[in-house]
Amino acid sequence: MAGGAVVVALAPRWASWLIYDRSAILSGQLWRMWTGHWVHFSTNHLVCDVTALGLAGWMVEARGGPRFGWFCVLAPWVISAAALVFEPRMNLCGGLSGLATAMMILAALCGLSDAPPWRWVCLAALPGMAGKILFEAATGHGVFVTVNGVPVVVSITGHVAGAATALAFWWFCGKMRSLA
């Protein structure tokens, strides 16, 4: 996912064909629900998203979960579908932040079963992520990302959907393990 964002940044002419564009999606261009996450509006936006997603994804992938690939495939669709339903005024959107949120929360949830002090780090990360989402909801702007010095307007729905997707995936995979 992070690699796709870097490729699109290196070939910016592709962005218009890949960005989450509500009217294009509703006209049948469903790939944009996946590829819209790869489009970024500044180098700062790209670096923040790729760094967060890459580090959290690495932590989750290193755990060797057999269903991690499914999470990577399904999460972009779920986040974009939530945006279509709950943010009808959002016409264009880009960035990996919803996926990065999902991955960071999944990494923290997976770490809750680890020994201290990592468990404590993961336990602290969860309310930290909730606080970040609440701050962004209250201000309407991202915490870390700017475009030309102006804070980016974030899709709170994307961040909440990412968090909910991570929680549901973690719970489902935990239930599947207990049935095995």
Domain ranges of the chain: 2-179
Give the other-Cβ count within 10 Å of 33's Cβ: 18
Taking residues 155-160, report their average pLDDT.
Answer: 95
pTM of the model: 0.92
Instruction: For residue range 24-82, list pLDDT tens digits in order.
Output: 999 999 999 999 999 998 898 899 999 999 999 999 998 887 788 999 999 999 999 99
Does the bond joining 88 to the residue before it have cis omega, within 30 degrees of 0? no
pLDDT value at position 153?
79
pLDDT value at position 142?
79
Nearest alpha carbon to residue 10 among 33, 39, 37, 32:
39
The class that CATH gives domain 2-179 is: mainly alpha
Confidence band (pLDDT; 50, 70, 90) for 180? very low
pLDDT at 150 over 80: no
Taking the C-alpha atoms of 167, 45, 93 and 129 in order, what is their torsion angle to the nearest 10 degrees? 20
Taking residues 87-92, report their average pLDDT.
Answer: 95
pLDDT at 175 over 70: no
Confidence band (pLDDT; 50, 70, 90) for 177? low
Taking residues 128-146, report their average pLDDT.
Answer: 87
